[in-house]
Each structure stands twice: as C-alpha cells, then as structure tokens.
Chains A and B, each alone.
Chain A
Amino acid sequence: MSAQNRIPSGIDYLPPLFQVIRNADRCIDCNVCVKQCANGVHVRDAQTGRLSTVDELCVDCQRCVCFCPTHALQICEAPNRYRPNANWTPQIMRGSYKQAGTGGVLLSSMGNPNEQTVYWDKLLINASQVTNPSIDPLREPMETRCYLGRRPTSVMRDANGAIDTSLPPHLELAMPMLFSAMSYGSISLNAHKVLARAARELGIYYNTGEGGLHQDLYEYGENTITQVASGRFGVFKGYLEAGAAIEVKIGQGAKPGIGGHLPGAKIVGDISRTRMVPEGSDAISPAPHHDIYSIEDLRQLVMGLKAATDGRKPVIVKVAAVHNIAAIASGIARSGADIIAIDGLRGGTGAAPTMIRDNVGIPIELALAAVDSRLRAEGIRNDVSLLVGGSIRCSADVVKAIALGADACYVGTAALLAMGCHLCRNCHSGRCNWGIATQQPELVKRLNVDQGVERLVKLMRAWNSEVMEFMGGMGINSIEALRGNRLMLRGVDLNESELEILGISYAGR
C-alpha cells in the first residue's frame, strides 16, 4: 500500500463510509477491479494472491461495479454509525474530526448534496385539454431554437423606410441548453474535447471555465464561450477572439464570494501552458476581480472586452445567486453586458470549501424568478438575455426554468454524467476513475472522446425531444412563447412567500 493510502488508527481514524461487498461465487479473480481503482480499494495480497478491499479508501464512484465482468461487486453504506443525533449529524461530526486532525478547511466537490428544497420538484407544468389543442411534435414543426444577446429598444429604419436589420451580436442555440463553465485543469482535456465536439454537433456552446483554451480546441471556437475570471488565467487577445462569446465570471453558485483554487500538483504540462501559470505553482483566483470593486467598474471591463474584440462577441456576466440578486442583475443589465448568467446554490464545482458550498447563496429557482420579475418591473427584460444553472438536472427543469423566465439553461453535472461521472464528489482528489476530473494520463485516457461525444449528444437530444413534448402538450410550438409564461406553472407544497416570489399560483387555482 502506498504512503498516501495508509489508514491511520486511534483518534485520527475515520471509519469507512462504504463497504465493498464481493460475491465470491461470482468473482473470477480477473483483477479488473484492482486495475480500475485509482484509490487502491481493491488489493491483491502479494503472498496469498487473495483479493481484499480497503473500504476506507472507497469513494463510491462505482467504477469497479460497472466494469466487473461478472457483476460480483456491490458498494453499500457501511453499517457502522455514530450514535444517532439529529443535531450532530454524522457529516458534521466527521468534519469536526477531520479538521481537528488537519486544521484545514473542509473541501468538497460537485453540487450541494444536502437535503434542500428543490423548487423544480414543487412546480407542475400545464397541458391543453379541450379549449385549445395540444400540438404533436412528431407531426408539426416545433421550435426550440433560441437567440441570446442584447435587443434594441426600438426599430430603426433607413431613408427608404426599410427596417435597419443590424443587431448586436447574438448566440444562436439549436436548443435552450448549453454546457456550463468547467475549466481545463479541473477536468481533463478529453472531457473538454467531449464538450467542444458535442457542442458543435448539437449547435450549442460549451464554456472554457477559467483555465484558458487548449491549443487543440481553437478549432471549435464557433461553439466556445471563453471565460474571463478574476485570475485571468490563459487570457490574451487571441483567446478572447477565439470564442463566440466572452463570459466574465464574477461568481459561482457553489462558492459565491471566493475564487477558484487549482493546486500546483495539477499545474503541469499543457495545463501550465494553457493557464499561463508556471508549472507546480498553485493557480489561485482572487476572491474579487481586483479591477471590479463596483458596478461601474464592471461596465469598464465589459466595454474593454468589447473593444478588444471590435464588438463582435456578446459578453456574458456570470454571478452567483445571492440575496440581493435582483438588484445586482439590474445593474449588470445596464453595464452593457448582453447576457446575464446566474448560478444557483446547488451548482456544481470541481472543489469548494464545504461550508461555503452548503451555506452561501440562494436557490436558482427563486433567484431566477426574482431577477426576471425585477427586470420586467424596470422594463429592461427584453434588452438582455438570461441564462441559469445550478442545478438543471433534466428536461423538466429546463421547461420550468424557461417558463419562470430564463432564455436558456447552463448544464454541467448532467453533461459529466453522460461521460461516466457517478457523482462520488471527489473531484478535488484528482483521482477520478472515470477520466473526467483528473490529470493523471492513465486515468484521462479512460474517457473515450468519441464515445463521450456520442453519449452527450444523445442525452441533449433526448432532453430536447422531451422539451418539445412538454411544449406540444401546452399548445406551444416555439420556445419563445414559453419564456416567462408562468401561467404554465403551478406550485405544490409551497408557502405564500414562495408562491409570490415565483410568481405562480398554487395548483388548483
């Protein structure tokens, strides 16, 4: 066993969360599990040749379960437990033990897994009966294409009375979904290739995140959104010009108010080159943009980015959903930004301090509803487009988000699931057995790019088909007639304040 895998004992000991169960009748001793587990859970004893497991190292990524040819493996919750206590939950106790041992900040990956109100699940969608007809998407045209960008407030004409059809730059999406920011570094180059190629095939976009754009991916520029975050990693003129749009990342739903952190161990080779950060040094984004301490500073950056690209790229400003989000969004709408992106409390991450992830920010559903209502109250909703993410899990979430007022949805975690992610939430370890959130070459190559693209394209097309079915049921044949159409939603299990913020009626009303 390597040093890294040594299990402490005594006061430092953390009992395993999972138990790996091997069915001896099925096991054929093929060694696949040993080879597949980068965490060293499956061990063959050098002397006896017998297979055993080190449950403490298991992260429940399901890699061995999926690849065991005889399905001899199962991962279960470990039966050991602390004495039940509704206040001192096992997670909190475990966190205390860890911190007492290390003195460090607790880290987590992926979106907040705690039981929280998922408002999407409290919203129900309408359908036509009798008074107007539902529309069959298999037989009638059904439009899910949408455009993101600024719109003029009045129609201009030339001297002959013809409409001046010039418009600010727009993003054209074949379906109302796009892939949210995941940096090269936090995920592998193969994962980025999957996103880029799938985006091209689907007629949508992926987002570089804050790690710059790998040289090999410049050819997918037309389907790329290049992100500019507080660390400015990998940002130069060529990078800004390479994509279809530029996103200024102010905040992220999983860690509002703090910057990203990619450990020096991951800053190797191409990642160092792409990020423009010396090998081995930590890439730590500052918490704020140090040139944006106020809303007028944001305007200067937005205008600066537009000037750098001759006004040819729409600029997105991405913020985390926080308490004052409606006013913040209103300020952004007036900053010259073309698109506002809002990331909710349950949004994903490659690594975030656990306490921040689980306690800072507000749910995306409420943030979206509040922002859409505020922009309408101020008469500026049509000027800008609104993107939401964190977290959009399925086509029903997309339909509900659009009916609440979004133009389109950022999809992150679901795209990773298509590549094999099983949500073990250990991205920060860098030992992703599925080849996604890792930079270890032998793990990265496990993610077959062609297969990943195929699966991701299928997933998004399936969602789009479902979106069309929902629309047809409502008698709507164009996505723009669904946008902000809150009458198509009703709520259950919601209190008066929630209904008021969401701008919907209780089911039955």
Chain B
Amino acid sequence: MREDLARAGLLEGQVRIPAGCAIAAIVATDGKPMSGHDIITSMEPMRERSSGLGGGFAGYGIYPKYADCFAFHFFFDSRDSRKTTEAYLEQGCEVVNRELIPIRKMARITDEPLIWRYVIKPHRSVLSRLQLDENEYVVRLVMHINTSIDGAYVFSCGKNMGIFKAVGYPEDVGRYYRLEEYEAYQWTAHGRYPTNTPGWWGGAHPFGLLDWSVVHNGEISSYDANRRFIEMFGYRCTLQTDTEVITYIADYLLRRQKLSLQETAHVMAAPFWSTIEHLDMRDPEGARKRAELAYLRKVFPSLLVTGPFSIILGFNGGCMALNDRLKLRSLVAAHKGNRVFIASEEAAIRAIEPDARDIFAPAGGVPYIVRVDGVEGGLA
C-alpha cells in the first residue's frame, strides 16, 4: 500500500495531512519511575478520537544508563539504508550501543519497518572543528539523515528519553513496544485520526527533536507561515505536519533564542493586542509585562500559531500543556498525590485515577507547566 500512496503523491511528507487526535500525559513530579502500563490504559477510553492510523508514546528517564548520550530511534526501510546511516553516524559520533528495539508481534500492527536504537555521543573533536555544541550538531545530523538518506528516518533523538510510535491504535502500539518494561517519570501519548491514509510509521506522533517531544491535537491554520519562517533557521519540515513545525518552533524559541516556557507560550499563543493593552501601565509590573508581550509579538510575528491546537510539549524535567488562544480543542488537567494528569478528555484521567482532584481546563493561550523535582540537564 505504501508504494501506491507514494505513487499517488499521498505519502506522509508528500502531502499535508490534517488530523484530529487524542493526547495524554502522566507526570510523577517526585521523579518516581512509572511503567508504561498506566499511560496505555489512559488512552483506551479515547479510542473514538483515533482511527487506528497512528499511535505513539514518549517516555522520560527511560535510559538512565546512557543519560549522557543521545538515544536515536530509527525506522529503516532496508538493511542498506541502515548501513549507509551507520557509516554516516560513525563519521562524527561514537556509537555506544546499537540494538533492535524489542517489540511484541501482534496481528493488528503490520507493515513494520526495521526499528533500531543507536546510542551515540558526538566526538568532541568534531564539535570543536565545526564550532557547534552537541545539541546543534545532533539537530543538523538528524536533519541530514531525514532529508538525505533514502529509507532512513530518525524519530527520536533525545537524552534519557525515547519516542515509540507506529501505525495502529495507541493502546496496541504501547503493547507492541512493550512499554510496560520501561520505567519513566513522565509519559506522553498520542492517538491519531488523520484525514487521509498516511500508511507510514514516521507520520505517527509524538514528534521529537533532542529531548523535546510534542503530542498535538488540532489543525493549525498558520502552518505555512510558521513553516516558511522556521525553515530559515535550518529546520526542514519533511512531514508537513503541524506537530513537526510546532516542535521546531519550540526548539528554536527555547533552545536557540533561550526564551522561557512562559515566553514561548506568549509567542505561540500570543495574547490579543486588546488584552495586552488592557494591562495597567501605571503599575510597574503591568508596564513591564505589556512591553514584554508586545516585544515578543513584534519580534516573532510569524511564530504565532492560529487555528485549533492542544499540545503537550515534553522535555527532560517536565512538560508544558498549551491550547490555542481561542481554546478550540479540549484539554484538561488534574492531579493526585505526586502525579499530574493531562488529557484531551477527563475520561482518560479517570480511567487510571478515579480519585484525581482539582480537574480543570487550562484557559486558551495560558500554559500549564509541570516540573519534576530533581531532574536537571533538560533544555527547558
């Protein structure tokens, strides 16, 4: 089927495919590890929001043994594409470990590519020759592999975190990847309802870059304005999906422009001018806020994201949930003890924690930021 779609120009990346979705996250704010069991269970009641055409998860803190290395998850079409990629990786990196990602065969997940994990560390000498820090180097490495090596696709490349995704319903995808065998302090999940038949595993979500992962529900109307802006800075939107461009925007603003999460939210879901001008200029804090919000809108106008979206941006040490400024997609949050829950529907939270408290819907454009105690070294 993939060949048919490719011929028709309908494969992920050849055509823009809007999608409706289910998203969820569980965070242990005390950093206590959780197996993948609960996040899989959480996705089950939202089956109606997916169509079996894409599901995936991101786990944080899953590779403590390799915490200083980048864990690359690959889809390869063939042994040749893997060998080409491996040779390319070895030009600039030490490959600390390489293995097939363990899976559980099941009837509902088919057409699987070769799924590999490479744990790598960029050579210092290479970084100093190129005058790049390791994050920037890894970003360029990933952009090159994904745009230039035929049949190879990096779908996860962060430190001490990993993305697992496939074409299928999310709960099947979770079991396929045996997520109950991983231990993470934070899980995010995604179920996809694309308005097309993408038929390719790379198109499933979460989408990741470095330790950022994004799960997203919506269809942004600003897509091409955002894409054409972000592509000025070395990013290549090969998949033509909202999630991909949102991930790059987050990376650009947080890592390269060194904005805070709050400031990043004020760019992506900027308050209306009328709201900004409502801030009291006589109050020094109001005046400062007003100057800052106006500045962010004026400097990054093309990174305003319009149209419906609810996203959960994961990173080492926490996550940020954000809605478009009109709140055109559902998103709720709750907590119980040291666990925070975020999901498209309350049912997803109740499925794993019937007693979750303080359930609330974050307002449009207002970021809900969750931090995990004692986890450092992330990008945010």
A167 B302 Cβ-Cβ under 8 A: no
A151–B353 CA distance with the chains assembled, in angstroms: 48
A:119-139 near B, CB below 8 Å:
128, 131-133, 135
Query: Among A271-279, A390-398, A419-427, A477-485, which stretch is in contact with chain B?
Result: A477-485
Contacts of B288 in A (CB 8 A): 162
B292 within 8 A of A: yes
In the complex, A239→B328 CA distance in Å?
A: 49
Q: Is the CB of A167 within 8 A of B273?
A: no
For B33, list chain A residues within 8 Å (CB).
none
Within 8 A of B (CB), among A287-307: none
Given A155-B299, A485-B223, A487-B224, verify A131-B306 contact (CB < 8 Å): no
Q: Please tell me if B272 contacts chain A, counting CB pairs below 8 Å.
A: yes
Within 8 A of B (CB), among A368-386: 376, 379-382
**Bound complex: CA A152 to CA B299 (Å):** 7
A445 at interface (Cβ–Cβ under 8 A)?
no
Looking at the assembled complex, report how far the CB atom of A83 sits from the nearest CB atom of chain B, in whole angstroms.
52
Closest to A155 in B: B257
Contacts of A154 in B (CB 8 A): 257
Q: Please tell me the size bucket of the interface on A.
A: 35 or more
- Whether A9 sits at the interface, judged by CB under 8 Å, is no
Q: Does A476 touch B at the CB level, under 8 Å?
A: yes
Q: Check if A340 is an interface residue, CB within 8 A of chain B.
A: no
Instruction: With A133-B328, A143-B273 as known contacts, state yes or no: A480 contacts B221, CB within 8 Å.
Output: no
Q: Enumerate chain A residues within 8 angstroms of B371, measured Cβ to Cβ.
A: none
Residue A218 lies at the interface, judged by CB distance under 8 Å to chain B: no
Inter-chain CA distance A477–B271, complex, in Å, is: 12
Q: Which of A427-484 contact B (CB under 8 A)?
A: 474-478, 480-484
Q: Is the CB of B221 within 8 A of A155?
A: no
CB distance from A470 to the nearest CB of B (A): 12
Given contacts A140-B326, A155-B259, A477-B306, whether A128 and B221 have CB atoms under 8 Å apart is yes
Taken together as a complex, chains A and B put the C-alpha atoms of A118 and B299 apart, in Å, by 33
Please tell me the number of chain B residues within 8 Å of chain A, measured between CB atoms: 46
Residues of A within 8 A of B13 (CB): none
How distant is A120 from chain B, measured CB to nearest CB, in Å? 19
Tell me which of A145, A382, A478, A482 has the highest count of chain B C-beta atoms within 10 A of its own C-beta. Answer: A478
A480→B303 CA distance, assembly (Å): 8
Chain A's closest residue to B263 (CB) is A163
The yes or no answer to A249 lying at the interface (CB within 8 A) is no
Q: A154–B305 Cα gap in the complex (Å)?
A: 20
Question: Which residues of B have CB within 8 Å of A57?
Answer: none
- Are B229 and A131 in contact, with the CB atoms below 8 A? no
Instruction: Let me know if B223 and A382 touch, CB within 8 A.
Output: no
Residues of B within 8 A of A346 (CB): none
In the complex, are the beta carbons of B307 and A480 less than 8 A apart? no
Q: Would A132 and B301 count as touching, CB distance under 8 A? A: no
Known: A167-B298, A483-B301, A483-B302. A382 touches B232 (CB 8 A): yes
**CA A476 to CA B325, docked complex, whole Å:** 11
B299 and A167 form a contact (CB under 8 A): yes
Chain A residues with CB under 8 A of B144: none
Contacts of A475 in B (CB 8 A): 219, 221, 306-308
Which residues of chain B from 284 to 313 have a CB within 8 Å of any chain A CB?
288, 291-292, 294-302, 304-308
B305 touches A481 (CB 8 A): yes
Which residue on chain A has the smallest CB distance to residue B299?
A151
Judge whether A147 is part of the interface by a CB distance below 8 angstroms.
yes
Question: Is B218's CB within 8 Å of the partner chain A?
Answer: yes
Contacts of A476 in B (CB 8 A): 221-222, 306-307
Residue of A nearest to B296 (CB): A163
Whole-angstrom distance between the Cβ of A350 and the nearest chain B Cβ: 35
Q: Let me know if A102 is at the binding interface, CB within 8 A.
A: no
Q: Chain A residues near B304 (CB, 8 Å)?
A: 478, 480-481
Q: Is B258 an interface residue (CB 8 A)?
A: yes
> In this assembly, does B148 line the interface, its C-beta being within 8 Å of a C-beta of chain A?
no
Chain B residues near A147 (CB, 8 Å)?
A: 298, 301
Query: Among B233, B295, B308, which residue has its beta carbon within 8 angstroms of that of A132?
Result: B308
Is B18 interfacial (CB 8 A cutoff)?
yes
The contact of B221 among A132, A141, A162, A170, by CB within 8 Å, is A132
Given the known A-B contacts A132-B18, A155-B259, are A167 and B308 also in contact in the complex, defined by CB atoms under 8 Å? no
Q: Would you list which residues of chain A between 162 and 216 have a CB under 8 Å from chain B? A: 162-163, 165, 167, 170
* B225 in the interface (beta carbon within 8 A): yes
A362 an interface residue at 8 Å Cβ cutoff? no
Residue numbers in A under 8 Å from B218 (CB-CB): 132
Verify A376–B228 contact, CB threshold 8 A: yes
Say yes or no: is A255 at the interface (Cβ < 8 Å to chain B). no
B277 nearest CB across to chain A (Å): 11
Q: Does B231 contact A (CB under 8 A)?
A: yes
B302 touches A484 (CB 8 A): yes
Indicate if the CB atoms of B224 and A485 lie closer than 8 Å: yes
CB of B125 within 8 Å of the partner chain: no
Which chain B residues border A483 with CB–CB below 8 Å? 225, 301-302
How far in angstroms is the closest Cβ of chain B from A297?
28
List the A side residues contacting B305 at CB < 8 Å. 481
The answer for the CA separation of A379 and B232 in the assembled complex, in Å, is 5
Q: In the complex, which residues of chain B have a beta carbon less than 8 angstroms from the beta carbon of A145?
A: 273
Name the one of A135, A480, A485 contacting B326, with C-beta atoms under 8 angstroms. Answer: A135
Complex formed: what's the CA distance from A369 to B308 in Å?
28
Contact partners of A482 in chain B: CB under 8 A: 222, 225
Taken together as a complex, chains A and B put the C-alpha atoms of A434 and B325 apart, in Å, by: 48
Judge whether A151 and B18 touch: CB under 8 Å. no
Q: Is there a chain A Cβ closer than 8 Å to B195's Cβ?
A: yes
Residues in B whose Cβ lies below 8 Å from that of A484: 224-225, 228-229, 302
B22 to chain A, nearest CB (A): 16
Evaluate contact between A132 and B219: CB separation under 8 angstroms: yes
Select A131's contact among B219, B228, B294, B300, beta carbons within 8 Å. B219
Whether A143 contacts B272 in the complex (CB less than 8 A), given A131-B219, A132-B18, A135-B326, comes out as yes
Please tell me if the beta carbons of A376 and B219 are within 8 angstroms of each other in the complex.
Answer: no
Question: A499 at the A/B interface (Cβ < 8 Å)?
Answer: no
Q: Which of chain B's residues have a CB closer than 8 A to the CB of A68?
A: none
Contact with A along B1-29 (1 / 0, CB 8 A): 00000000000000010101000000000
A376 engages B224 (CB within 8 Å)? no
Tell me if A313 counts as interface (CB < 8 A to partner B): no
CB of A488 closer than 8 Å to a CB of B: yes
Q: Please give, as numbers and ranges, the residues of chain B lying within 8 Å of A162 by CB-CB distance.
A: 288, 292
A486 at interface, CB cutoff 8 A: yes
Identify 27 residue pairs between A and B in the complex whose beta-carbon atoms are under 8 Å apart, listed by A's number.
A131-B219, A132-B328, A133-B308, A145-B273, A147-B298, A147-B301, A154-B257, A155-B258, A165-B294, A165-B295, A167-B295, A376-B228, A376-B229, A379-B232, A381-B229, A382-B229, A474-B221, A476-B222, A476-B306, A477-B326, A478-B270, A478-B304, A480-B297, A480-B304, A481-B225, A481-B304, A481-B306
9 more contacts with CB within 8 A, not counting A145-B273, A382-B302, A483-B302, are A131-B18, A131-B195, A132-B308, A143-B273, A155-B299, A376-B231, A480-B304, A481-B222, A487-B16
A-B CB proximity, top 6 nearest: A481-B222, A487-B224, A480-B301, A475-B221, A132-B219, A485-B225
